[in-house]
Amino acid sequence: MKKALRIVLWVLIGLIALNFLVTGLRWAVDPSGAAEAFDMSLFSGAALSTQIGDIGAFFIGMGLFVLLGLVTRKREWFLACATLVFAAALFRTLAWLFHGASLMMQFIVPEIIIGTLLLIASKKLTAENSQVPAQKPE
């Protein structure tokens, strides 16, 4: 991959990480706004604790996974996040197919695109694909 394209991919993946982190933090500081962004009602009581805790942790975790991938250049971090993003798209689709939920293509399509970009990053932005030649044994 050419250096310019690698830089563009790195920046794009960094923006995805930042978006995940901001979304997760928003669940902590402005849960009603965060819920509205996802076209969902804010729960109350124990359900509110679960909603804020689980969704906030989901996004903070994904953001940290991507940042760890960018910093350590280990593909496992990108793959961990891609797995979660693809699983979200899958479960949204299952909710529509089997449980009467609305088909939320405005979320599913970006999740598939982001998951695919993370798979590409796992291949192109990792140490295994470094441009540094291997050391010759002496």
What is the full DSSP assignment across 65-102? Answer: HHHHHHHH--HHHHHHHHHHHHHHHHHHHHHHHHH---
Distances (CA, A) of 77 to 21, 43, 50, 52, 72: 15, 32, 25, 24, 9
Report phi then psi at 41, rounded to 5.
-80, 150
Q: In which domain, by residue range, is 59 found?
A: 3-129
pLDDT at 122 (0 to 100): 97
- Residue 62 counted as domain residue: yes
- Residue 136 counted as domain residue: no
pLDDT tens profile 68-119? 999 999 999 999 999 999 999 999 999 999 999 999 999 999 999 999 999 9
- Residue 78 counted as domain residue: yes
- Residue 137 counted as domain residue: no
- Residue 15 counted as domain residue: yes
pLDDT tens profile 22-71? 999 999 999 999 999 999 999 999 999 999 999 999 999 999 999 999 99
Question: What is the total count of domains within the chain?
Answer: 1
- Residue 134 counted as domain residue: no
pLDDT at 2 (0 to 100): 87
